[in-house]
């Protein structure tokens, strides 16, 4: 009879009470960890649990969580574990049997940790946050939690406007946390939950809703009144009602040492097939291109680049540690990284056997050629013109002209790519029917070029999303176009598209909910909770999203979903609590440029735009 | 990266990999297990040869799939490795100048066939260190030619939440029958399987969860029963929860598909 091997690596024994559960659900490997490069610190404290509020295969690929997991383990004494959102089949069984949400590293109850951190990447994960809180046995509302409950902290780009989920979180970290991890961990060493919260509130970048930083005493006694909800339609109008109490704002944190620190080279590598299956190296943070709709570009300013040598060495190490045959050089616009060609060539020399992928290609032929250099087998390339006419592209500051577009298309089809994917948005401010028809025109141009160059092998797909105005952007006050208009524009595009081009649309209903949640105040929390109680989960998944559920949720709360997230003109914004380090004057100028046709050049090549991101020691840091 | 072509016998060699899958790794699918092994080899710096064509695939295949949720103590994979005599860190198929190795240069074939014990031991240690939790690398055995093992039989054990007293009559009934048919539904349609043909020697012991069931599945040219089919059949007949726990494939007997003697 065979025996277990003497070199047993079976460090992740699954508890008996979970094996029965796991025998009854799909993809049980989602819930048991055991990845390559998993880390454990037995008996360490404080205990931190990190969560991406989506299913494992999505969450494990998130680079932000990988950074926090790695850095907290390596650089702090904290124990760090993870939990992702259980799929509905497991969630139902957990509730039926009273099994609380567990961590992947040790199968411990999540609620036993000191700090539970959620990364808020987009609004359609908010109901999953509630799902996970409930499955863990943690009260949904922060003001209902007591000493036995973990501190629930939110982070990530969703903190650009944390208001809609503020009642559910004890704290938020605004901005990049790498430079404050020691302080956060130190704060968790306090003896009581109240003391931990008080100390966290003193960490730069941390916002504790319901507390005013100036009113906190050292031992956490005597909570100050909560911040006044800012000016939304449902908060009683604008004007004086929206001012942030006490004038306190939380400054977005910028990790100024980014360029001097190594990216994660021993990331968690799932055994289960995940959304992305490649080593990831973050080459650059921030973007100076200045697209006026883009929240991430401004949120992560100023641009900071890692040195080429560091990128190449890190990529080689990450490939060895992961066993991947592909490395992705990620950033918001990797082709703008000043060392991109040297980095690609450098990695190619050290590892000629691997593919190098560049997400978010700049729309020009040089970028396309670089993409081909990095990956000779890949069959398709993605370009994002975003708008169909020069006028509209100029309005959103997407500085791409027809000539560049055609050259990039030709470069794609003539360099071996057989497939081209184009991304566009509809519902932009000032958009007319002709702008939408022009999208079809660009698709026809692209397909025509493809067929001319490679004949019938040329494939084209066009993906169209709906513009959702986001906080902390020049377009933050622009209206969401609405379901009716977007639907009619989709129909117009369907009628205009050339034969042979595949067309896909982002679901309008989910865009509507996203638009409501993105700019809402704390009144949206009522709708979020109502939607969750009505069964909303995994709203980012087409097969699970239900607009009707959200409408009912809004109605039960006495609100209209079509108006939720709408702003009172000239009133303070719900996200005023967050100082994004972007000058209001800059946002106003960019907003005005929407209608006067002005474009603004990339500040890394041209004049400083005075956006406000570079102040003191915080400045652009380029590799070349 | 293109494949190495048919004239690559001097650069690559076939091996049998013996491994176990336990702990949290038991919840992987067949494809996930294969992928985990491929990644283990890559992390260990033991390159697997690739197929030809636009999308090269590593030459590693698992002989007998394990059901999701099952541990396996005696698993086998066939893998084709690139020259094991290269120095550490050297890229596969290239010498110091970066040129592709010529299959005729030096006594490559002889080196390939007589894998130095020290290097083989080092390679095994690297594989074991690179493997994830729950994947145990037991042995890596060179083969003179491409092995084509097929399973002959496999011994299984599992736990069922039912007392042996309730299950024993069902087991006795199963043994007494000449045929026991069930319907197997798949995307290809439904077909009838005679489970009795493929399952031998079921026996019971009391366990902490109810019963521990042991049985052997035979594999032949007509197919086999799936362990979960057999267990579900018994459990439903006993009026018990058909969900099995802790399914373990204890041992597998293999033979070369050309009909040589079985290996266990």
Question: Residue A323 and residue B39: Cβ atoms within 8 Å?
Answer: yes
Q: Which residue of chain B is at minimal alpha-carbon distance from A26?
A: B68
Q: Which residue of chain B is at minimal alpha-carbon distance from A270?
A: B36
Other C-beta atoms within 10 Å of B72: how many? 28
B137–A contact, CB cutoff 8 A: yes
Taking contacts as CB-CB distances below 8 angstroms, the residues of chain A near B130 are 323
- List pLDDT tens digits, range B73-87: 999 999 999 985 544
Taking contacts as CB-CB distances below 8 angstroms, the residues of chain A near B27 are 14, 22, 28-29, 31-32
- List pLDDT tens digits, range A67-106: 999 999 999 999 999 999 999 999 999 999 999 999 999 9
Distance CA A495, CA B152 (A): 60
B54–A contact, CB cutoff 8 A: yes
B84–A contact, CB cutoff 8 A: no
> What rounded mean pLDDT belongs to chain A?
89
What pLDDT does residue A564 have?
78
* Residue A491 neighbours by CB under 8 Å, 6+ apart: none
> In Å, how far is B137's CA from the nearest CA of chain A?
8
Give the pLDDT band of residue A248 (cuts 50, 70, 90): confident
Percent of chain A with pLDDT over 90: 78
Q: How is residue A158 written in tokens?
A: 């969703």
| A contact test, residue of B48, B132, B140 with most A CBs within 10 A | B132
Whether the pLDDT of residue B231 is over 60: the answer is yes
- List pLDDT tens digits, range B163-198: 999 999 999 999 999 999 999 988 889 999 999 999
What pLDDT does residue B95 have?
36
Question: Residue A7 and residue B25: Cβ atoms within 8 Å?
Answer: no
Question: Residue B130 and residue A323: Cβ atoms within 8 Å?
Answer: yes
What pLDDT does residue B55 have?
78
Task: Identify the top-confidence range among A374-378, B95-99, B106-110, B218-222.
Answer: B218-222
> In Å, how far is B36's CA from the nearest CA of chain A?
6
Give the pLDDT band of residue A242 (cuts 50, 70, 90): very low
Question: Residue A320 and residue B43: Cβ atoms within 8 Å?
Answer: yes
Q: Which residue among A3, A9, A325 sits closest to B131, beta carbon to beta carbon? A: A9
Cα-Cα-Cα-Cα dihedral of B135, B136, B141, B145, to 10°? Answer: -20
- pTM for the complete prediction? 0.89
Q: Which residue among B22, B32, B45 sits closest to A271, beta carbon to beta carbon? A: B32
What pLDDT does residue A366 have?
73
- Structure-model confidence comparison of residues A58 and B102, the more confident one: A58
- Residues constituting chain A: 624
- Residues constituting chain B: 264
Instruction: Provide mean pLDDT across the span A346-369.
Output: 85
Whether the pLDDT of residue A234 is over 50: the answer is no
Question: Residue B27 and residue A22: Cβ atoms within 8 Å?
Answer: yes
Q: Which residue of chain B is at minimal alpha-carbon distance from A349?
A: B98
Instruction: Provide mean pLDDT across the span A405-420.
Output: 91
- List pLDDT tens digits, range A454-510: 999 999 999 999 999 999 999 999 999 999 999 999 999 999 999 999 999 999 999
Q: How is residue B54 written in tokens?
A: 């636009």
- Structure-model confidence comparison of residues A8 and A292, the more confident one: A292
Instruction: Provide mean pLDDT across the span A504-522.
Output: 95
- List pLDDT tens digits, range B48-70: 999 888 778 899 999 999 999 99
Distance CA B145, CA B249 (A): 28
Instruction: Provide mean pLDDT across the span A114-130.
Output: 97
Q: Are B211 and B241 in contact (CB under 8 A)?
A: no
* Strand residues in chain B grouped as ranges (E): 12-21, 60-62, 71-82, 135-143, 149-160, 181-186, 189-194, 199-207, 210-218, 245-256
Backbone angles phi, psi at B124, to 5 degrees: -65, -40
B68–A contact, CB cutoff 8 A: yes
Give the pLDDT band of residue B209 (cuts 50, 70, 90): confident
> In Å, how far is A434's CA from the nearest CA of chain B?
41
Per DSSP, the three-state class of B13 is strand
H or E, element range at A251: strand A250-251
- Structure-model confidence comparison of residues A213 and A529, the more confident one: A529
Question: Residue A12 and residue B24: Cβ atoms within 8 Å?
Answer: yes
Question: Residue A36 and residue B20: Cβ atoms within 8 Å?
Answer: no
What pLDDT does residue A16 have?
81
Whether the pLDDT of residue A230 is over 80: the answer is no
Distance CA A386, CA A501 (A): 17
What pLDDT does residue B264 have?
53
Distance CA A189, CA B82 (A): 52
- List pLDDT tens digits, range A532-573: 999 999 999 999 999 999 999 999 988 888 887 778 777 889
Which of A20-24, A355-359, A392-396, B132-136 is least confident? A355-359
Q: Which residue among A8, A20, A351 sits closest to B245, beta carbon to beta carbon? A: A20
User: What is the Cα A399 distance to its own chain's centre?
Assistant: 24
Whether the pLDDT of residue A114 is over 60: the answer is yes
CB pairs under 8 A between A and B: 120
Give the pLDDT band of residue A381 (cuts 50, 70, 90): confident
> In Å, how far is A349's CA from the nearest CA of chain B?
10
Whether the pLDDT of residue A264 is over 90: the answer is yes
Instruction: Please give the angle made by the CA atoms of A324, A82 and A15, to the nearest 5 degrees.
Output: 100
Instruction: Provide mean pLDDT across the span A575-579.
Output: 95
| A contact test, residue of B29, B133, B157 with most A CBs within 10 A | B133
Instruction: Provide mean pLDDT across the span B232-254.
Output: 91
What pLDDT does residue A489 have?
97
Instruction: Provide mean pLDDT across the span A217-224.
Output: 36
Question: Residue B92 and residue A36: Cβ atoms within 8 Å?
Answer: no
Q: Which residue among B28, B38, B251 sits closest to A29, beta carbon to beta carbon? A: B28
Give the pLDDT band of residue B117 (cuts 50, 70, 90): low
Question: Residue B24 and residue A29: Cβ atoms within 8 Å?
Answer: yes
Distance CA A154, CA A55 (A): 18
* Strand residues in A307-379 grouped as ranges (E): 326-330, 355-357
**Beta pairing partners, A109:** A102
What pLDDT does residue B56 have?
82
Give the pLDDT band of residue B116 (cuts 50, 70, 90): low
User: How far apart, in Å, do the first and last CA atoms of chain B sit?
Assistant: 36
Question: Residue B25 and residue A271: Cβ atoms within 8 Å?
Answer: yes
Q: How is residue B5 written in tokens?
A: 């072509």
Whether the pLDDT of residue A597 is over 90: the answer is no
Question: Residue A34 and residue B23: Cβ atoms within 8 Å?
Answer: yes
Continuous H helices in A534-622: 547-556, 584-596
Taking contacts as CB-CB distances below 8 angstroms, the residues of chain B near A320 are 43, 45
What pLDDT does residue A591 have?
94
- List pLDDT tens digits, range A37-71: 999 998 999 999 999 999 999 999 999 999 999 99
Taking contacts as CB-CB distances below 8 angstroms, the residues of chain B near A5 are 20, 136-138
B23–A contact, CB cutoff 8 A: yes
* Residue found by looking up tokens 């169209």 in the block: A464
- b/e burial code for range A189-211 (CB count within 10 A of at least 16 → b): ebeebebbbbbbbebebbbbbbb
Q: Are B69 and B24 in contact (CB under 8 A)?
A: no
Angle between helices A508-518 and A547-556 (to 10 degrees): 40
Q: Which residue among A24, A272, A353 sits closest to B32, beta carbon to beta carbon? A: A272
**Residues of chain B by 3-state class (helix, strand, coil), percent to 5:** 25, 35, 40
Which of A268-272, A423-427, A600-604, B42-46 is least confident? A600-604
Question: Residue B68 and residue A29: Cβ atoms within 8 Å?
Answer: yes
Taking contacts as CB-CB distances below 8 angstroms, the residues of chain A near B155 are 1
What pLDDT does residue B260 have?
46
Q: Are A576 and A232 in contact (CB under 8 A)?
A: no
Q: What is the 3-state secondary structure (H, E, C) of A145-197?
A: CCCCCCEEEEECHHHHCCHHHHHHCCEEECECCHHHHHHHHHHCCCCCHHHHH
- Structure-model confidence comparison of residues A26 and B115, the more confident one: A26
Taking contacts as CB-CB distances below 8 angstroms, the residues of chain B near A324 are 39, 42
Question: Residue B68 and residue A28: Cβ atoms within 8 Å?
Answer: yes
């Amino acid at each position: 009879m065979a025996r277990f091997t003497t070199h047993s690596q079976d460090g992740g024994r699954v508890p008996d009470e979970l094996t029965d559960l796991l025998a009854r659900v799909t993809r049980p490997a989602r819930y048991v960890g055991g990845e390559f490069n998993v880390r454990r610190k037995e008996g360490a404290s404080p205990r931190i649990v990190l969560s991406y509020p989506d299913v494992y295969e999505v969450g494990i690929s998130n680079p932000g969580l990988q950074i926090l997991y790695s850095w907290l383990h390596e650089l702090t004494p904290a124990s760090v574990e993870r939990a992702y959102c259980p799929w509905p089949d497991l969630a139902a069984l957990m509730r039926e049997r009273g099994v609380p949400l567990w961590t992947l590293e040790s199968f411990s109850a999540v609620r036993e940790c000191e700090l539970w951190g959620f990364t808020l990447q987009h609004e359609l994960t908010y109901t999953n946050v509630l799902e996970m809180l409930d499955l863990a046995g943690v009260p949904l509302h922060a003001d209902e939690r007591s000493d036995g409950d973990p501190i629930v902290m939110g982070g990530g780009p969703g903190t650009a406007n944390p208001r809609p989920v503020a009642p559910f979180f004890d704290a938020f970290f605004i901005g990049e946390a790498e430079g404050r991890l020691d302080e956060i961990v130190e704060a968790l060493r306090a003896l009581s939950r109240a003391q931990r919260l008080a100390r966290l509130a003193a960490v730069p970048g941390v916002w504790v809703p319901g507390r005013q930083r100036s009113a906190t005493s050292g031992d956490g006694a005597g909570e100050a009144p909560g911040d006044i909800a800012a000016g939304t339609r449902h908060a009683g109008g604008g004007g004086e009602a929206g001012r942030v109490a006490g004038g306190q704002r939380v400054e977005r944190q910028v990790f100024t040492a980014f360029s001097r620190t190594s990216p994660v080279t021993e990331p968690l590598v799932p055994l289960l097939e995940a959304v992305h299956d490649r080593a990831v190296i973050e080459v650059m943070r921030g973007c100076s291109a200045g697209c006026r709709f883009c929240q991430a570009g401004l949120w992560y300013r100023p641009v900071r680049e890692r040195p080429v040598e560091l990128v190449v060495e890190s990529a080689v190490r990450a490939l060895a540690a992961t066993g991947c045959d592909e490395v992705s050089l990620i950033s918001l616009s990797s082709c703008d990284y000043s060392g991109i060609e040297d980095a690609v060539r450098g990695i190619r020399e050290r590892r000629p056997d691997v593919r190098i992928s560049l997400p978010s290609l700049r729309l020009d032929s040089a970028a396309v050629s670089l993409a081909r250099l990095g990956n000779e087998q890949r069959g398709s390339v993605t370009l994002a013109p975003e708008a169909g006419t020069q006028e509209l592209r100029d309005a959103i500051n997407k500085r791409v002209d027809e000539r560049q577009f055609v050259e990039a298309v030709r470069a794609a089809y003539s360099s071996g790519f057989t497939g081209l994917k184009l991304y566009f948005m509809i519902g932009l401010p000032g958009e007319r029917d002709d702008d939408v028809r022009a999208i079809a025109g660009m698709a026809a141009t692209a397909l025509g070029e493809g067929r001319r160059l490679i004949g019938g092998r040329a494939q084209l797909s066009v993906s169209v999303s709906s513009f959702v105005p986001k906080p902390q952007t020049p377009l933050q006050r622009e209206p969401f176009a609405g379901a009716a208009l977007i639907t009619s524009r989709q129909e117009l595009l369907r009628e205009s598209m050339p034969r042979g081009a595949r067309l896909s649309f982002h679901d309008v209903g989910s865009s509507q909910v996203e638009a409501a949640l993105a700019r809402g105040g704390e009144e949206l929390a009522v709708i979020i909770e109502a939607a969750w109680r009505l069964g909303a989960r995994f709203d980012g998944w087409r097969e699970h999203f239900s607009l009707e559920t959200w409408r009912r949720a809004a109605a039960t709360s006495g609100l209209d979903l079509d108006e939720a997230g709408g702003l009172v003109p000239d009133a303070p914004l719900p996200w005023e609590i967050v100082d994004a380090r972007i000058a209001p004057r800059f946002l106003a100028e960019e907003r005005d440029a929407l209608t006067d046709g002005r474009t603004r050049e990339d500040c890394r090549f041209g004049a400083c735009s005075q956006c406000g991101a570079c102040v003191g020691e915080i400045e652009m840091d380029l590799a070349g | 990266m293109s494949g190495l072509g048919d004239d690559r016998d001097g650069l690559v060699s076939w091996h049998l990999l013996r491994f176990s899958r336990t702990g949290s790794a038991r919840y992987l699918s067949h494809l996930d297990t294969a992928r985990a092994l491929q990644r283990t080899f890559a992390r260990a710096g033991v390159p697997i040869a690739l197929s030809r064509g636009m999308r090269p695939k590593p030459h590693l295949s698992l002989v007998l799939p394990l059901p999701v949720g099952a541990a396996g103590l005696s698993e086998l994979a066939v893998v084709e490795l690139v020259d094991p005599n290269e120095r550490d860190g050297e890229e596969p198929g290239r010498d110091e100048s970066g040129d592709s190795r010529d299959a005729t240069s030096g006594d490559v074939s002889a080196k390939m066939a007589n894998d130095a014990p020290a290097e083989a031991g080092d390679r095994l240690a690297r594989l074991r260190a690179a493997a994830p939790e729950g994947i145990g690398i037991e042995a890596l055995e060179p083969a003179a030619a491409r092995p084509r093992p097929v399973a002959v039989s496999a011994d299984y054990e599992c736990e069922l939440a039912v007392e042996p007293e309730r299950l024993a009559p069902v087991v006795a009934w199963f043994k007494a029958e000449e045929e026991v048919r069930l319907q197997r539904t798949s995307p290809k349609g439904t077909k009838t399987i005679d489970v009795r043909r493929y399952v031998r020697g079921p026996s019971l012991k009391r366990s902490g969860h109810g019963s521990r069931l042991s049985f052997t599945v035979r594999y032949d040219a007509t197919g086999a029963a799936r362990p979960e089919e057999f267990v579900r059949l018994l459990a439903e007949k006993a009026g018990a929860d058909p969900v099995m726990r802790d399914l373990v494939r204890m041992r597998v007997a293999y033979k070369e598909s050309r009909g040589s003697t079985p290996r266990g």
